[in-house]
Amino acid sequence: MNKKNKQILLVSPRGFCAGVTRAVDVVLETLKTYGSPVYVKHEIVHNKYVIKDLEQKGTIFIEDVENVPSDRPLIFSAHGVSKKIVHQSKNNKSIVIDATCPLVTKVHVQARKFYEEDIKIILIGHRNHPEVEGTMGQLPEGSIYLVEKISDIDKLDFNRDDRIGFITQTTLSIDDTNSIILELRRRFPNIKSSPKEDICYATTNRQNAIKAHASKCDSFIVIGSENSSNSNRLVEVAINSGCKNAHLLEDASKLNLEEYNKANIIGISSGASVPDILVEEVVDKFEEHFNIKIEHAIYGEENVSFKLPKELRK
Ligand code: SF4
């Protein structure tokens, strides 16, 4: 039987960002230096494949830092942690290694700066996301006001001329965040912001790349885990940019090829916590059933990298 022709548009930048690469390297280097097991507070990055691989190598992912044996290393995930967790870990005398992405730390620093200058702080982000919990936990409870959507601005008990500043989660939708910021600026004309964008370069590049190419595609696949904020945002961007048939896919084992029978052009990208092997496996599965032609849709190059924490530098 003749295989149907399909075109696959591999969109980039995609996959691992500098913060995720560093966080995974921190775990691998800690295993090398201290042996197993090593403990990680929360999933080091939100991707099932990465987590399973690190578990097999001797990593134990935990939420409660109190249970970490004091002679074993404890790593904080790329999303960052609250000051309370830092203090608990130090009291516990664990060997603490911080894999918080430097771009998340930058937001923490800005929050503290606003606080010291007596500026009321608004954080635009998603409630219960570990990065948001970590950022809010940099300061005493009640110091940061969370805004998830425009209607939350109504709940702020601020006056127009109060000293106010905003920061954001690093992995938000650029467009949704801009609408919230526009409304904040309308209501509080003197509102201050971080000197540089808080939404990180990787989130921005992956969203812009999809924005530029999604409308050409009949279907769009974003490879990523359900709990990955940046991956979920990429699906929304694909839909909003003109490809209504866009979905999040964990990996090739979840791919239902029948859904792509009618699609001629299939776009593929992946979240910032996704290793490229998962993209390759999805492409391979398409190749088994269809006659595929691969086109690379490159939006730009990335050359960002971060040093390992000082405890692990040789
Ligand atoms: S998505 Fe951005 S903020 Fe998050 S780990 Fe990657 S570079 Fe850092």
Give distance in angstroms: CA of 79 to centre of ligand 1.
Answer: 8
Q: 163-176 in b/e burial notation, b at 16+ Cβ within 10 A?
A: ebbbbbbbbbbbeb
Mean confidence (pLDDT) of the chain: 96
**Does ligand 1 have an atom closer than 6 angstroms to the CB of 101?**
yes
Nearest CA to ligand 1 atom 2: 200
Amino acid at 232: N
Among 199, 225, 240, identify where a domain stops.
Answer: 199
CA distances to 10, 81, 138, 160 from 87, rounded to whole Å, are 44, 10, 11, 37
Nearest CA to ligand 1 atom 7: 19
Question: Could you read off the pLDDT of 1-24 as tens digits, one per residue?
Answer: 688 999 999 999 999 999 999 999
Phi, psi at 122, each rounded to 5°: -110, 130
Positions of the chain with pLDDT lower than 70, given as ranges = 1
**Does ligand 1 have an atom closer than 6 angstroms to the CB of 100?**
no
User: For residue 219, what is the enclosing H or E element?
Assistant: strand 219-223
Among 152, 172, 199, identify where a domain stops.
Answer: 199
Give distance in angstroms: CA of 157 to centre of ligand 1.
Answer: 32
Give distance in angstroms: CA of 19 to centre of ligand 1.
Answer: 5
Determine the pLDDT at residue 1: 67
Closest CA to 72 of 33, 22, 99, 127: 33
Which residues form the domain of 41? Answer: 18-101
Which residues form the catalytic set? 131
Closest ligand 1 atom to Cα of 23: 5
Determine the pLDDT at residue 94: 82
Give distance in angstroms: CA of 170 to centre of ligand 1.
Answer: 7
Structurally, the chain folds into a number of domains equal to: 3
Among 169, 199, 229, identify where a domain stops.
Answer: 199
CATH code: domain of residue 86: 3.40.50.11270
d(CA 77, CA 59): 12
Question: Does residue 110 sit in the same domain as residue 64?
Answer: no
Residues in the chain: 314
**Does ligand 1 have an atom closer than 6 angstroms to the CB of 50?**
no
pTM beyond cutoff 0.85: yes
Determine the pLDDT at residue 314: 72
Nearest CA to ligand 1 atom 8: 19
Q: Are 135 and 112 in contact, with CB atoms under 8 Å apart?
A: no
Question: Does residue 174 sit in the same domain as residue 191?
Answer: yes
CATH code: domain of residue 191: 3.40.1010.20
Question: Does residue 220 sit in the same domain as residue 155?
Answer: no
d(CA 78, CA 98): 8
User: For residue 220, what is the enclosing H or E element?
Assistant: strand 219-223
